[in-house]
Structure 1
Amino acid sequence: MATPLYDRYLSVEKRKRRLVSWARLSVLAAFLLLWELAARWGWIDSMLTSKPSQIVTSFRELVVDGNLFKHVGITSLETLAGIVISMTLGTSIAVLFWWSSFVSKVLEPYIVVLNALPKVALGPIFYIWLGDRYSIYGMAVAISIIVTIIMVESGFREISKTKLKLMESFGATRSQMLRMVLLPASIPHFIATLKVNVGLTLVGVVMGEFLSSKAGLGYLIIYGGQVFQMTLVMVSITMLALLSAILYGFVSLLERMARRRYSPEG
């Protein structure tokens, strides 16, 4: 039974969350208002920085033309494909490293070097190898797969070795330990890796679109900069922010579902 003290605590926590939400909205509204007024009063050159009212107008025009949804859809598809490929390959390689300590010791220095390598330098190589379309997927996977391997493998190492030794003492094979202990216990690490990959893969997609694409939000940003249409650039950046927020929210939903399913009470 809930006590008055506990009810008071819940009420205070709800007020804090509402206050934080209102503060966030207020900061965003104040920033947009200041931006709009600064452009109208001549404090900044709206030709160089655009302004919120112009962005809204340009957004409406792109929606009516149907071009915006086309470019957003292309970038979304490339990002989702990059996340799926990098998570699948990265997790498979991490499992291989866990399965064979010899392979892990041999390849670990290369993983470290690849992680430190600026991935944008690989753009021309992917363009030559994969062409203008698939090089975007190559950039997306190149940026996120190394982080996936490192984070998932680190999660494997944090799993209690006592449980694995106990299963081994009962005659469990490596495959059984992987299926019954390692992978289920690594769900939180998979979710954390997904959260990181949302941003990294989107960065890789946009970088790939900068280099070779003829469609997508990255292409719109480059095109807008070339023809000096900063409003188009700002609309594209805003859509990228919304896309990343939607993807992150989807991963957060998966996290809540996983917690309910794999919690000790469940």
Structure 2
Amino acid sequence: MSYLCPLCHAPLAPEGRSFVCPQGHQFDKAKEGYVNLLPVQHKRSKDPGDSTEMMQARRAFLDAGHYQPLRDAICQILEHAAPGEMLDIGCGEGYYTAGFAQIAEKQNGTTWGLDVAKVAIRYAAKRYPQVQFCVASSHRLPFADESLDAVVRIFAPCKAEELARVVKPGGIVITATPGPRHLMQLKGLIYESVMLHSTETESLPGFVAEQTEQIGWPMMLQGSEAAALLQMTPFAWRARPEVWQGLAAETAFHCETDFVVRVWRRDTLV
């Protein structure tokens, strides 16, 4: 299995340190080992996705093990699913992807990591060479029809029709989304009125909802860890300077997690 050309959608073949399609479109591997499959005309901004600061904060926070129960829960699902070809959409700096790769390797499969942020993929590819990483849009997945056994999507957007296109009949999609009380205490520092996350279940046409698991645990964070958590969230830009200062000075910031993990099975009647 390889990539599809993002320009003409023909299969890309590896040639040395490049990928080339029959039309002659060529995409070179970076020195870290990833390939950039995001043409400029598909970008919504000059540097889409998370910034370097967000990536560094996420790596520090995740390396400390604060979200390991989430990774373990998804790895357990993958163990039973026995994926061969697996994709992590919105993989960021690769913390989760590396865990998933250990599962796929047992089946002699390949793990692919995709993110729109070039800086994230550069971080990931440098640390985890056992994974095939690419910069690409989650709305235009550079993979052939019915080529993937499993797709994992943690807090990442993707068109349902794209998932239905690339997942094999009988394959699975695993989604992880915020539960109602996720990071309530952190949000309480920023918003006057804290709204619970929606409990509405998304629709994935072509898939059958097979399993739902809600997991959560309390965290006690040091100041730098609490600041890193805020930095990696989408509401960091709303935090006032005094919020950042207060978090940095914390010796024990208590915050709860709340995740909803769902397993979707691709309909075999396709």
TM tier relative to shorter chain: under 0.3
Higher RCO by CA contacts (8 Å cutoff, separation 6 or greater): 1
TM-score, structure 1 normalization: 0.24
Task: Identify, as 1 or 2, the structure richer in helix.
Answer: 1
**Whose radius of gyration is greater, 1 or 2?**
1
